[in-house]
């Protein structure tokens, strides 16, 4: 099987231009490791973890790779900007633990002042222990943010997130293909920063399409929720397996239900529509909505669970190991790229 070469695969030393998204409360270090083992590059997320838990995740991940010794750990860790800001002292400790753990990359998103965290990571004294400076992946929601990240912040990898994406994103973001095109047109001529696309991607045919449009790689989130390694519960996965793209909706109702309303202005979330959305739209008292949500979490009631999902969900109908998913994505991407060559006379 042929490999695909892009600026991303060259930067990371991988053979598949596929990245698993850093999904809060859903992607574990084990998931990230299996994605990397499949040939792509995996991220896990630090949200909700204590310092001890984070150290253990990193220890287990490193032990799962028998050939890296004390070298860079070939996975990445994600942080949400506004959560870092909310608990600065604890956040700095977590960031230092990740840097000390030698991860190959750190993903930053959704902050009003991401630059301060970029500067903190770059200046971290934890490098002295790991000897590894993580690459900085920054997710953006507008062309203006993209230009700032590349030109001013000098990020290592840029992630453009389209409206089709599951979980949180910009309510006014354009479609993934339009956003990618806008960003590529706006970046300086000769730009060498890899640009990744995120939003509604579920198979290799889509990955190939974005590669031919100029992306250096694709980020998939929802596809990796339906893996054994995802920390999504069986109830969450059952909802995803049965869902169709037409059932997903962008809304603030899910954050209203669980009380997470500190996202930057203009950010909402895409998930599978259920009674949470119906109740909020019907004007049900917020306290009642939150009580129903807490009860649903305890009982696994699918009608009141928060199940994030991108619009590519209609293309996914089975739970498969993450490593196999990446291998299938690679094979399908190569076949699609080979088919595209037949279009040339």
Coil, helix or strand at residue 214? coil
Coil, helix or strand at residue 327? helix
pLDDT in tens, 93-138: 999 999 999 999 999 999 999 999 999 999 988 876 777 899 999 9
Model confidence band, residue 70 (pLDDT cutoffs 50, 70, 90): confident
Average pLDDT over residues 9-37: 97
pLDDT of residue 125: 86
**Which segment of 11-20, 123-132, 295-304, 319-328 scores lowest on mean pLDDT?**
123-132
pLDDT at 1 over 80: no
Burial of 65 (0-12, 13-18, 19+ CB in 10 A): middle
pLDDT at 342 over 80: yes
Share of the chain above pLDDT 70, in %: 100
- Tell me the Ramachandran region of residue 141: left when phi exceeds 0, alpha when psi lies from -120 to 50, beta otherwise: alpha
pLDDT of residue 157: 98
Residues 166 and 245 sit within 8 Å (Cβ to Cβ): no
pLDDT of residue 141: 94
Model confidence band, residue 33 (pLDDT cutoffs 50, 70, 90): very high
Residues 132 and 187 sit within 8 Å (Cβ to Cβ): no
Token pair belonging to 9: 């695969």
Average pLDDT over residues 292-312: 93
The overall pTM is greater than 0.85: yes
pLDDT at 173 over 90: yes
Average pLDDT over residues 222-247: 96
As a whole number of Å, the CA-based R_g of the chain is: 19
Q: Pairing mode, if any, of strands 73-80 and 267-272?
A: unpaired
pLDDT in tens, 40-65: 999 999 999 999 999 999 999 999 99
Burial of 279 (0-12, 13-18, 19+ CB in 10 A): buried
Token pair belonging to 158: 């840029």
pLDDT of residue 326: 98
Token pair belonging to 50: 């204590």
Q: Look over the chain and give the mean of its residue pLDDT values, rounded to a whole number.
A: 95
């Amino acid at each position: 099987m042929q490999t695909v070469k892009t600026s991303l695969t060259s930067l990371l030393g991988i053979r598949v231009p596929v990245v698993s998204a850093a999904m809060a409360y859903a992607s574990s270090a084990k998931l990230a490791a299996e994605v990397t083992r499949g040939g792509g590059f995996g991220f896990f997320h630090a949200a909700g973890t204590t310092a001890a838990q984070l150290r253990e995740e990193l220890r287990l991940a490193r032990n799962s790779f028998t050939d890296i010794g004390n070298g860079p750990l070939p996975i990445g860790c994600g942080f949400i900007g506004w959560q870092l800001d909310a608990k600065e002292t604890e956040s700095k400790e977590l960031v230092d633990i990740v840097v000390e753990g030698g991860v190959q990359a750190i993903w930053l998103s959704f902050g009003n002042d991401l630059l301060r965290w970029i500067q903190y990571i770059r200046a971290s004294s934890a490098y002295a222990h790991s000897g590894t400076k993580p690459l900085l992946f920054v997710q953006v929601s507008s062309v203006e943010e993209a230009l700032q990240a590349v030109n001013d912040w000098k990020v290592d990898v840029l992630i453009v997130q389209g409206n089709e994406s599951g979980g949180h994103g910009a309510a006014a973001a354009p479609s993934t293909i339009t956003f990618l095109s806008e960003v590529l047109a706006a970046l300086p001529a000769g730009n060498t920063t890899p640009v990744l696309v995120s939003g509604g991607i579920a198979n290799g045919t889509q990955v190939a399409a974005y590669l031919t449009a100029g992306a250096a790689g694709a980020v998939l989130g929802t596809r990796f929720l339906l893996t054994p390694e995802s920390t999504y519960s069986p109830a969450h996965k059952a909802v995803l397996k049965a869902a169709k793209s037409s059932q997903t909706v962008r809304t603030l109702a899910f954050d209203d239900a669980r009380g997470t309303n500190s996202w930057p202005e203009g950010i909402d979330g895409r998930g599978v529509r259920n009674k949470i959305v119906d109740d909020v739209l019907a004007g049900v008292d917020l306290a009642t909505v939150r009580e129903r949500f807490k009860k649903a979490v305890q009982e696994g009631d699918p009608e009141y669970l928060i199940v994030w999902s991108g619009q590519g969900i209609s293309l996914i109908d089975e739970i498969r190991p993450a490593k196999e998913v990446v291998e299938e994505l690679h094979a399908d991407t190569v076949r699609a790229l080979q088919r595209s060559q037949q279009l040339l006379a």
